Structure 1
Amino acid sequence: MASPSALRELQRDLETKANDLSKLQKDIAKNHQVRKKYTIQLGENELVLKELDLLKEDANVYKLIGPVLVKQDLAEANANVRKRIEYISAELKRLDGTVQDLEEKQNSKKDAILKLQQRIQSLQAGKAKV
């Protein structure tokens, strides 16, 4: 027969694991939001790159810096956009790895919680028979 203190200890453990799972789920949601933002930025920058590729060598290109448009060399603008795309792609790859790691931890926590719940239920069932 399980002692009431052992049952309370298991329930506290279950509560702790449930809180950890909740934190993991919030982290996953936050990472998905950041990923969505980077995906949008990547699309915008790829569109800008396509537009820059359509321009002739002597075309005027302006960059918005604060409230001012500043003339920029086409090659420099092209290089800047390519660097930005490279950076955003690397961030997306890093975020994918982070999300995958968090989801693995989440699944592990869910399994641990399920096993703990089953253990508590079996203890409670054993207690009810007495």
Structure 2
Amino acid sequence: MAAKETPAQRSAVMRAVKSRDTSPERAVRKLLRAFAPGYRLHRKDVPGNPDIAYLGRKQAIFVHGCFWHGHDCARGARMPKANAEYWRAKIARNRARDAAHGARLAELGWRALTVWECELKDKGALEKKLRAFLRA
């Protein structure tokens, strides 16, 4: 039986979670390089600081982790048993922030696409989705 994790250990684990240049984000960029290079990364001058932005086209791509952004897939629906109320509130805040960023982008004439971490399981379908978004 494993020893219970201390709050300090949990804090260290959470600090190590990256918010940019994650594996899912790098996988999406690798797909895009093949047919749509010329994107910019993490632009602070674009609402929501999208992971990938095509400035001239006014198109933004967000690569979201299913758990962190409350996706309705199996991984996103899983809620930690410890400190569950904190996580429910945290994920709700993330979802509200995502919606606000999407609305602000739309006001400015931008189109946004969310790529979920679970979509990387089917790279062919994801490439098709990305191509359709960038063509429109």
TM-score (norm 1): 0.31
Higher helix share: 1
Larger Rg: 1
Q: Quick check: which one's strand share is greater?
A: 2
